[in-house]
Every structure is written in structure tokens, then in C-alpha cells.
A and B are shown apart, each in its own frame.
Chain A
Amino acid sequence: MEVKNLRVELEDRLILEDVSFGLRSSEIHVLFGPNGSGKTSLISAIAGLPGYRIVSGRIIFMGEDITGKSVEERARLGIGVGFQTPPEVTGVKLVDLLKLCLGKGSEDEFSAEEIRLIEHFRLQGFLNREVNVGFSGGERKRAEILQLLFLKPKVMLLDEPDSGVDVESLKIIAGEIQRYIESSGASALVVTHKGDILDYIKAKYGCVLLNGKLYCFMNPKRVYEDIKREGYEGCIKCQMKGEEKW
């Protein structure tokens, strides 16, 4: 996937000024940035959610320009979104949504491997519950990532998969993301505030989104250490641009 000079508005306000980056097969990139810097907007714009108006720039996916395609078309092409706070879907059972993600009918059974994953995500007790209704933070995230894995996307856009999640859940989630990326050749863009997830995934690059632009592009652990030491203030001072490396 290649994002070229993306400029995005939300409700007539410029959110992303000029964002460019590329994601190659089997790569995981981590995106840091202060609250309100536009991380969620970037994921939403790539996923095609309405309201995020692409003023200029292009999104190329598997050689195809998808800038004008709908949410559903992008999903079908292989763009998978893991939401930061997935909504409650009243009346729809998790089991049915998981089957839809797999492209199965409601009468079809899960395979042994699918059952293994459901159990690994500790969601067997939630199958007959309505999607996300009354789920804790960790349960919601586990359900979200499991849906994504079942969708078998070519690119995973993960918005803070580690927020509101206990250590055990984080291990499960991040471990399975890493396993999927390795086995499928898909790639992932992970938005995070915390560095803990870096212990479980092998991310190639880390970068910082500031004032609607991307900066840095380095070893993600180093980026995270710098942010911890200097704060985003330090990033603003430094502002090392280097997308050519991507």
C-alpha cells in the first residue's frame, strides 16, 4: 500500500496536511502521536469512512488507486480496520458476525483452527452475546482483532489495539497479529500511545504524526524511547522527515 501526499479534511477542518508512506508485504509500522494529531483520521481516511474528505493525494493499494472507493469496496479488496472503540451492535450476535467475517453462512460450522483461535482469544463464552454489548475493554479488543483475523485482510489498520487492555489480552492480541503477518504476508499499521506492544510484535518502522504530517521513520523502539525522554515537544523540535526511507 502506498499513501501519497494525502490531504484530508473533517468537517471543513484540515486534519492531515501532507502524509506519505508505504507499507510492504510482511511489514509492521507503528505510528505514534499526541492526542488529536490525526492518527485515527489517517486510518479512517484510508478505510474510506465518510466525513473524511480527501482533498488531494492518493491511496494506492495493490497497484490500484482506491482513493474514491467505498468502505465496503475497500474492505473487500483487503483493507481491514481495527477500531479503537468498536461500537455496540445491538441484536447482532458475535457468532454471526464472526461467520460473516469468514464468509460463512449462519448454518456453517467453524473449522478446528477457527475454534482454536476463538478459545485462544477467550471468547467462546461471548459467541451468543450481542457484539460488544456489555463487553469490557479487553473483551472488546479481543473480539475486534479476532474479527480482523477472520477477515484475512492484506493490510491491517489497527487503532490503538493496546488501549484499555490488560497484559494478558495484549499478549494474545499482539502475538496473533504478529503470527498472522508472518504467515500471510499481509502488512499492518499500528497506532499506539504506549510502547508495550513493541515487545510482542516485530515492527520495522516507527514514526510520529505531528500537525498533520509524518516525521521520523526509525527503529520504533528508539522512537518510543525518544518520545518518553523528550516528549512530543522534542519531536516538534527535531522534526526529522525521512519518508524516502519508506
Chain B
Amino acid sequence: MVSLDESKILKKVPRHVLMEAYGVGVAREEERAGTFFHVDQSTLYSSVNELFKGKIELMDIREALQRYEWLSDYMWNAIQKSSDFFTKKVAEDLSGGYFLRILPGAEVLFPLQSCLMITQEGMEQRIHNIIIAEENSKAHLITSCLQHSAVRKATHIGVTEVYVKRGAYLNSTMVHQWGDETVVRPRSASIIEEDGTFVSNYICLRPVMDVQMYPVAYCRGKGSKVIFNSILYGHRGSFIDAGSKAVLDGSESRAEMISRAVTREGSKIIVRGSIEGNGRECRGHLECKGLILDDESFIQSIPELIARSKSVEITHEAAIGRISEKEILYLMTRKLSKEQATSLIVRGFMDASIMGLPEALTAEISRIIEIATKS
């Protein structure tokens, strides 16, 4: 049965689009503080839950640029237009994107959601998003980027600029679901002010031809903090080059990076991580764990630690290995088949609880992981 809220969104978003989005982190509107849908080249839907009116603004980026003159100061500020071939493309010809602003002091208890989908074969989607978490605000955002199951081949280029103001907390989780023939180039950067915290989670569980991303966080303010977490499942010949970089300029600023990478079926994953300690008393820690399940696959971990002050402390730990035969056999004495035992361990390895999400959202992500590893 269609709920009242669904009938509202269904006037704008085709049913087949909505149904596919539901499997990738998109929930019914009433469970979210705000909902944004961008399909192919246009924004189809943007709505703020009644409970959170006056606390957040969520709209199409072009509409926002017309409405707020000051927004142009934020556009191409954290990222330069000329950074690379892909940012230039977005600057030249924009498909759209969202503008999300969490107003000062607002505590948004429900997660916000945005969905960026490709439904046309061979399309190149060019997105530009801007997120501003105003002073002392707190919010969770889940962004689902996917292609419709009827699409084989596409290109997604997404620029996202994030501004976390003084004392604000923003937790942003991105779930990707692309295809074996799709190329993906996210280009993200964030600027974090004094005592602000930005948590950036990235989840890629479906086969994808080629993803390359290297989001940068500039911890400018004193006591600012960034946390990058990623769960990467490379299978069916996927290539994932996913890194993150933290530039710790503010004194006592912090960075944490945790990644879990699993490769099988001839897939390649490169996990890069760079922490640059420039400010006084800044701290960073980088952790990469990898599981390689066959001889056709590949994992590379490239940690980079840079210090420019004697008060800086940055550490890293990395481990890549296979599943121990002993654990598999142990589970097989518990009536599990070898395949069931392997997928149970793989699923446990890709632990959603590393992402610092509220319990309900952790459960949602765990379910997505469970489905992806079972199929």
C-alpha cells in the first residue's frame, strides 16, 4: 500500500526510480528530515519534513544560487574549478545537485537523505553539491548515488563542497551502487572550523568498472576534527581507488581514517590515506584493513604521514591478509557451508559500526552490506 507521503513523492518521482532507491539507503520520507531526488540531469523532488521546517534548507543548487547571492562565495571555494579534467567538466556544464544548509544551532535528529540516480544509458551526470553546517548545528546525511538496474554504462562526476562551521557536527554517509561498465569520479573537499566535526563515510559494495576519488578535508579551526571511514567491497573485476586526505592546519585538530577493503574475482582496490600535520598539537591516526580472497585480485594500501611541527603526532596501522582456514573450518563444524562461512566473515569484516552512525542507521547500512555480500 502506498502511504500518504509516498503518494506525494510519486507525483514527482517515477515509481520504478523510487523502488530502486529504497534498496540503497533511501527510506520513506517520514523517516527522514529532508529528501532530495536528482535523476539524470534534473532535480525531481526536494522536500523538508514538517518536523524540521526552520531547521534546514534543502533545494536544487541552481535555485539556491539564484536565491542567495552569498552562496557564490561557497561555490568553487573548497575545490578549484581548474583542479582537474573532471572539475572543469562540471564547471562548464552542470546537471544539477543539491544545496543543503543546516541552520545555526539546529539539531536534526532524523537523517537527511539525497538520491542521485542515472536512468539513461550512456549518460554522463555532472553534479555539484554544497553543504553548509552552520554554527553549533548537528545532522546526519545519507547520500545514495546509483544507476538504475536497466542502465549498463554511465559516467558520474560529483563535486561536493562541505563547510562545517564552528562547533557544528556533520556526519555524511555516501552509498554507491554503480555497474560493471560505469566510471565514477567524485570530487569532494571540506573546510572545518573551530571545534567542528565532519564525519565522512563511504560505502561501495556493488561491482563498478572504475572509481577514483580522493576527498580532502581542511581542518582550519582550533580543535576541528575530521573522520573518514570507508567500506569497500571489490568484486567482479571492480577497480576502486579510494583515498582521503586531511590537512590539519588548526592547532589541536584531529584526523582519523578507517578503511575496510575486500577484493575478490579479479578486483583491484587501492586505499590511499594522507594526514598532514601542520598545526600545533594536532593528532592523526590512519587504519587500513584488507582482505584478499583470491589470487586474481589486488589490494594496495598507501599511507602517507606528514608532520610540520614537533608537537604533531600521527600514526598508522595497516594489515592485509586472507581469511584464516581455521576460522572457516570452525564455522563449518557449526553446520555452515564453506561459502556461508566465508560470507559471514566477510560481512563481519565490513563492520558498519566503524562509521559512528546512530543505531537505526547502522542497522540500515548493515542490511545493505548483508544483501550485497549474499548476492
**A92 adjacent to B345 (CB under 8 Å):** yes
Q: Quick check: is A90 within 8 A (CB to CB) of the other chain?
A: yes
Give which listed residue, B327, B332, B334, B349, contacts A87 with CB less than 8 A: B327
* A91-B348, A92-B348 known; A83-B330 Cβ under 8 A: yes
Which residue from chain B places its CB closest to the CB of A132 in the assembled complex? B330
CB contact under 8 A between A75 and B347, given known A49-B329, A50-B329, A86-B330: no
Q: Is the CB of A75 within 8 A of B348?
A: no
Task: Bin the interface of chain B by size.
Answer: 10 to 19
Q: Is A30 an interface residue (CB 8 A)?
A: no
Interface check A97, CB cutoff 8 A: yes
Contacts of B17 in A (CB 8 A): none
Chain A's interface size range is 20 to 34
Partner of B329, one of A71, A100, A101: A71
**Also in contact, A71 and B347, with CB within 8 A (given A87-B327, A89-B327):** no
Query: Is there contact, CB below 8 Å, between A147 and B326?
Result: no
Contact of B344 with A by CB under 8 A: yes
Residues of B within 8 A of A81 (CB): 333
A17 within 8 A of B: no
Judge if A206 is at the interface, Cβ distance under 8 Å: no
B326 touches which one: A72, A87, A91, A92 (CB < 8 A)? A87
For residue A9, CB closer than 8 A to chain B, the reply is: no
Shortest Cβ gap from A204 to chain B (Å)? 25
Those of A45-63 within 8 Å (CB) of chain B: 47, 49-50
Q: Tell me, yes or no, whether A196 is within 8 Å of chain B by CB.
A: no
Q: Is B331 at the interface (CB under 8 A from chain A)?
A: yes
Q: Which residues on the B side are within 8 Å of A80 (C-beta)? A: 333
Is B320 an interface residue when CB atoms closer than 8 A count as contact? no
Residues facing B in A74-99 (CB within 8 A) are 75-76, 80-81, 83, 86-93, 96-97
Q: B338, B344, B345: which contacts A72 (Cβ < 8 A)?
A: B338
Chain B residues, CB < 8 A from A72: 332, 335-338
Q: What is the distance, in angstroms, from A151's C-beta to the closest C-beta of chain B?
A: 7
Chain B residues with CB below 8 A from A96, complex form: 344
**Which residue of the partner chain B has the closest CB to A75?**
B335
Inter-chain CA distance A12–B239, complex, in Å, is 43
Which residues between 104 and 158 of chain A lie within 8 Å of chain B, taking CB atoms? 130, 147, 151
Contact of B333 among A71, A88, A91, A93 (CB under 8 A): A71
Q: How many Å from the CB of B261 to the closest CB on chain A?
A: 14
Say yes or no for B324: interface residue by CB 8 A criterion: yes
Knowing A92-B345, A130-B348 are in contact, say whether A100-B336 is a contact too (CB < 8 A): yes
Most buried by A among B334, B338, B345, B347: B334
Q: Tell me if B364 is interfacial: C-beta within 8 Å of chain A.
A: no
Most buried by A among B324, B336, B345, B347: B336
In chain B, residues 340-360, which have Cβ atoms closer than 8 Å to a Cβ of chain A? 344-345, 347-349, 351
Minimum C-beta distance from B203 to chain A (A): 16
CA separation between A74 and B344, bound complex, in Å?
20
Judging by beta carbons under 8 Å apart, are A147 and B349 in contact? no
Report the minimum CB–CB distance from A155 to chain B (whole Å).
Answer: 12
> What separation, in Å, do the CA atoms of A93 and B353 have in the docked complex?
13
How far apart are the CA atoms of A51 and B351 in the complex, in Å? Answer: 32
Using Cβ atoms and an 8 Å threshold, which residues of chain B touch A147? 334
Q: Min CB distance, B370 to chain A, in Å?
A: 8
Are the CB atoms of A89 and B333 closer together than 8 Å? Answer: no
Q: How far is the CA of A88 from the CA of B332 in the complex (A)?
A: 14
Beta-carbon contact of B345 and A89 below 8 Å: yes
Q: How far is the CB of B239 from chain A (nearest CB, A)?
A: 25
Complex Cα spacing A87 to B323, Å: 12
* Closest residue of B by beta carbon distance from A91: B348
A71-B329, A88-B327 provided; 13 other pairs, C-beta below 8 A? A71-B333, A72-B335, A75-B333, A75-B335, A76-B335, A87-B324, A89-B345, A90-B345, A91-B345, A91-B348, A91-B349, A92-B344, A103-B335
Q: List 11 A-B contacts (CB under 8 A).
A: A71-B332, A72-B336, A72-B338, A87-B327, A87-B330, A91-B348, A92-B344, A97-B334, A100-B335, A103-B335, A151-B335
Q: Which residues of A contact B (CB under 8 A)?
A: 47, 49-50, 70-72, 75-76, 80-81, 83, 86-93, 96-97, 100-101, 103, 130, 147, 151
The 7 closest A-B pairs by CB, nearest first: A91-B348, A71-B332, A92-B348, A75-B335, A72-B332, A91-B349, A81-B333
